[in-house]
Structure 1
Amino acid sequence: MSNAVVTLRKGAGRTLKQGGPWIYDNEIESIMGSFEDGDIVLVHDFDGYPLGRGFINRNSKLTVRMMTRNCDTEVDEAFIHMRVQNAWEYRKKVMDDISSCRVIFGEADFLPGIVVDKFADVLVVESLALGIDRFKVMIVDILKELMEKDGIHIRGVYERSDAKVREQEGMERRKGFIGEPFDTKVEIVENGVRYYVDVKDGQKTGFFLDQKYNRRAVAKLCKGARVLDCFTHTGSFALNAGIAGAKHVTGVDASELGVAQARENAALNGLEDRVEFICEDVFDLLPRLEKQGEKYDVVILDPPAFTKSRSSIKKAVKGYREINLRGMKLVKDGGYLATCSCSHFMDQELFTKTIGQAAQNVHKRLRQVEFRTQAPDHPILWGAGDSYYLKFYVFQVCGEK
């Protein structure tokens, strides 16, 4: 613990005072006292008013990430235990199934820079900030202890701190076991669907838990339906449709690894006869299906983030408009379109406007069934804009008649 003091410039720290968790490099007037990058420092407003404590890293544009708004609070093992326990108790309260869920969601759980996902009896950790990296093993140990008290034995922990953003923190990418090695192919059950999760080589931490309830919402529309699931990844929406009784489902993804895993998951659920997967670029496939006169009862669009920065929003809008336009054309009159964006920079207003433009361009009327966001194990912290990233619409698509 350092007693160094970071003082903000006059007029700076507006987002911090609205509940935001970060102080940017250009908001700082001075740093007084001795410290090392990664240390906990005191934060004062320009006039000396205490704003809390956070950890500092001068290698990052996010120079201070706040841990507490109380300058008198020591960020020690007792403090970390309190934060981790609060996160776990919250999941037990808001989720109807904690067999697989996000246990810690960084800033939204007041533990900035760290994500922990639970897949059955395995934890996967992603640590993206220097200060929190020092607490990583402590956080894991506390979680294991808390879960053991609830009768949940964790057989292994795997670290997936291999994102490029670590380099911006002056850290090396890291991937490997925390503790004893174990079989990294993990079987989970979500919404009654079985999956193999590859925690070692799968995308991000191995599986996207945030769409859990959205998959369930779409599944109920798929009974007896012909379904097209675009950007299927490891087949999650497609398999939910299959389990719900779809007549036939086609899942599409450009990743051969993803498609291979999706086929394996279909076999695991005994759905190979009704759920097929093809490896193709969705942008190439949709126009071809349209030319062939194909029509579906339900079309699902779950693309990766088309933009990860403000500078590429225009290009992203074009991509979202294109796939939604093509998707609507492939929906039978009176059928359903599920469409989403997982980019924080594509905000709800812009995403809604883009879908509306696509509908106008293809002369379709949209009847909104529901609007959803990420599952509550990925809480949205007001003031921390990037914690709200998933926008999910279900529409009935109606023609001109």
Structure 2
Amino acid sequence: MPLPPFDPADPLGIDDLLEPEDLAVRDTVRRWAADRVLPHVAEWYESGELPVIRELARELGGIGALGMSLSGYGCAGATAVQYGLACLELEAADSGIRSLVSVQGSLAMYAIHRYGSEEQKQSWLPRMASGEVIGCFGLTEPDIGSDPAAMRTYAKRDGGDWVLTGRKMWITNGSVAGVAVVWAQTEDGIRGFVVPTDSPGFAAPEIKHKMSLRASVTSELVMDEVRLSADAVLPGVTGLRGPLSCLSHARYGIVWGSMGAARSCFETAVDYAKSREQFGRPIGGFQLTQAKLADMAVELHKGILLAHHLGRRMDAGRLRPEQVSFGKLNNVREAIDICRTARTILGANGISLEYPIMRHATNLESVLTYEGTVEMHQLVLGKALTGLDAFR
């Protein structure tokens, strides 16, 4: 039997590992991103605004991309691999678009789906799955990042109600959200609260002057004695296990998504190297450029293989948080290196918004930090490898 031809777009034949349903999901999201995001994203990035976020959310709900790995309540019930493929295609367009989907599905919806009451699920999840309601997830605070146990936001009982006070920072979707899942200290430990954003005392001013994730809505959450009914608390979890499990689910999407940004930069570099001529021939014909392209391809497709492996483990119920840390640490770090190398191939053109490379590179600087910094994931793995806790 003759060998199949070498495919520069899939040099390891990873597509052979995908089922027809997986490919259909990937192609649907890729077509949507090509039609609705790529023609406009440079303009959104340059202006620092995402003016059509509500429209995009409804469209994403229409193709089943919001909360897609959850079951019931209008969610698609997709596999982890299918969700990962969607994240890859969304981030190949822009990290801000993938963040919109990740925060909606893997943080806000996941928290309600896993830990919420049946009434909370029925009330919020169908509208969030359709994109009618956008959600956000409030954990990080102005002075509290990697140590969420030290959060200062608190909720106290007042008769049959809860009164919530505090601030959250760097919250994706915050200013456009209809519901916020907010984590707070209580006399019983850290609890999650489902907070309608039209509640008196709740405000979500948008954060401006960002140099990364500019095609994304990022906000502060300010809660000044927000009164909530007794049933606003998520009944299914107490302690940091709740928010950390949500973050692990979202980090899994980043393992795939970061490879989307890397793929966009790699493909741009390959196309440019084949057409840009210097010294009388395309720069892709020079050894140093080919060495760069070869190294980029190796790390890109190793990263996709890693993401696929973790997805299969998640689908089998065998994915550990330490393995997610492994994936996020490796793939985001390698994606940044691929972007920087691609920029060198384009030379000065690499900093222009006519090409996606600098946009992806600056976005990935945020992806590197959010949902666990490099250092935190190194320490997670260090503890797993040695049995010794070096966090404190």
Band of TM-score, shorter chain: under 0.3
Q: Could you tell me the TM-score, scaled by structure 1's length? A: 0.27
Please state which structure has a larger fraction of its residues in helix: 2
Query: Whose RCO is larger (CA < 8 A, sep 6+)?
Result: 2
Please state which structure has a larger fraction of its residues in strand: 1
Q: Could you tell me the TM-score, scaled by structure 2's length? A: 0.27
Q: Report which of the two structures shows the higher radius of gyration computed on alpha carbons.
A: 1
